[in-house]
Amino acid sequence: MPDSDDADADGIIGRSVDEAAAVVTQRRAVDADTARATLSTVAEDGVVTADGVQGALAHLAKVVSTPATRAEFAGLDVDDAREAADGLRDVPTVADRLDDFDARLSRIEAAVSDLDADLQALVSRADDLDGAAVYDLAREADQLGAEANELQAAADELGMDADAFERWVSSARARHDELDGDVRELTAAVERVESDASALGDADADADTWFDCRLRRRVLALQVADLRAELADVVTLDERADIDPEDVEPSRSTLASDLEDLDDRLDAVAATLTYAERDAWRDRFDDRLAAFDRAVDEEAPPVAWGAVLSAMEDARAGE
């Protein structure tokens, strides 16, 4: 943090936002618009004041308290999901989703605790403010508020996902509808990579397209394997619930046939890419493709998609 007399000699408190922003931009690498936006959060009637700082912190306290409440609600939703899946943890898809909920809830709860600690640190600093500290405190309060909003969204998303899982594990219709939707989305993605692969020529730009198609085809093949494993788990859950296969649409056989077709189409894409590749393309991208393949070779259903997508991003970035 800057020395306390960094801007205090110019008296930020008591100045208009424009005047205070001018002082800040003279002292640090920040543009005037950013400085004004930050200082306006601790201003009253366009003037930076100590009361404005206290008001901003009071508002921030409300913002920070919301994720804690939403995390509690999400925890209850996760408990309900766990109860709905009682006795079904031996089914891989069920176990994977419950483990994911638990991990996400733990991260959210830890982040909530960190938010509260950061808020208390800001409140303590507000008791002894100088000009430099006002700007830094306002900037950090903005950042903390943004983090709180992101954390609230994460807690809300977890609650919705847990609710959806509870419906999924309790309803054959929900399971088949979700799987059908996933297969349709995957089909659209396969169509896109087919189109891109079939359009390859000899231009320099085609090298990048070829490389990206190689990555996408591999990821899509993993998605087919993942959905095929999920279909097997759906069949297990249907059988345990004594669901008549003729009572659910799309049928298991239709879903299985669709996935088999996608597998065949991705094999055809692989052949197209092999035919289209040039020695120069292979020389340019071979190391990145090999690193990506190593990163995903061990992946098996249920696939850890965070790791796969991270490996894909690294490959695209050349890391």
Flag whether pLDDT at 259 surpasses 70: yes
pLDDT in tens, 76-120: 999 999 999 999 999 999 999 999 999 999 999 999 999 999 999
Are residues 164 and 21 part of one domain?
Answer: yes
Q: Percentage of residues in the chain with pLDDT exceeding 90?
A: 81
- Total-model pTM: 0.85
Residue 2 lies in a domain: no
Phi, psi for 16 (deg, rounded to 5): -70, 160
- Please provide the average confidence, as pLDDT, over all residues in the chain: 92
**Phi and psi angles of residue 195, each rounded to the nearest 5 degrees, phi first:** -65, -45
Query: Cα 108 to chain center, whole Å?
Result: 13
Model confidence pLDDT, tens digit, residues 127-136? 776 655 888 8
Residues 17 and 158 grouped into a single domain: yes
Give me the amino acid identity at 222.
L
Q: Is residue 28 part of a domain?
A: yes
**What value does the mean pLDDT take over residues 177-204?**
94
| Final residue of a structural domain among 107, 138, 168 | 168
Q: Is the pLDDT of residue 277 over 90?
A: yes
Q: Note whether 128 and 202 are same-domain residues.
A: no
Is 12 in the same domain as 107? yes
Length, in residues, of the chain: 319
196 located within any domain? yes
Same domain, 69 and 47: yes
Q: Does residue 142 share a domain with residue 202?
A: no
Question: Residue written as tokens 């059908």?
Answer: 180
For residue 9, pLDDT beyond 60: no
Verify that 70 and 186 share a domain, yes or no: no
Among 142, 168, 194, residue at a domain's last position: 168
* Segment 294-315 mean pLDDT: 94
Q: Give 43: exposed, middle or buried? Use CB within 10 Å, 0-12, 13-18, 19+.
A: buried
241 and 153, same structural domain? Answer: no
Q: Is residue 198 part of a domain?
A: yes
What's residue 5's pLDDT? 39
Classify residue 43 by its DSSP letter: E
CB count in 10 Å sphere of residue 32: 12
Instruction: Work out the pLDDT band at 261, boundaries 50, 70, 90.
Output: very high
User: Does 28 share its domain with 125?
Assistant: yes
HSE of 220 in the Cβ direction (CA atoms, 13 Å)? 30
Q: What pLDDT, on a 0 to 100 scale, did the predictor assign at position 132? A: 57
pLDDT tens, residue by residue, 201-258: 877 789 999 999 999 999 999 999 999 999 999 999 999 999 988 888 888 899 999 9
CA–CA separation, 4 and 187 (whole Å): 60
Q: How many domains does the chain have?
A: 2
Residue 308 has pLDDT above 70, yes or no: yes
Highest mean pLDDT among 5-14, 18-27, 125-134: 18-27
Q: Is the dihedral of CA 63, 67, 68, 69 positive or negative?
A: positive
* Confidence at residue 204, expressed as pLDDT on a 0 to 100 scale: 76
What are φ and ψ of residue 48, in 5° steps? -75, 120
Does some domain include residue 272?
A: yes
Residue pair 233/92 in contact (Cβ under 8 Å)? The answer is yes
Of 2 and 189, the one with more pLDDT = 189
Distance, first Cα to last Cα, the chain: 33
Q: Residue 42 domain-assigned?
A: yes
Does residue 3 lie within any of the structural domains?
no
- Clarify whether residues 138 and 46 are in a common domain: yes
DSSP-derived 3-state class of residue 210: helix
pLDDT, tens only, 135-156: 889 999 999 999 999 999 999 9
196 and 226 part of one domain:
yes
pLDDT band, very low/low/confident/very high, at 28 (cuts 50, 70, 90): confident
* pLDDT for position 172: 94
114 and 182 belong to one structural domain: no
* pLDDT band with cut points at 50, 70 and 90 for residue 292: very high
Among 168, 187, 210, identify where a domain stops: 168
Q: What domain range includes position 231?
A: 171-317
The pLDDT of 267-281, averaged and rounded, is 95
HSE value, Cβ hemisphere, 13 Å, CA-based, for 33? 0
**pLDDT computed for residue 162 by the predictor:** 98
Specify if 281 maps to a domain.
yes
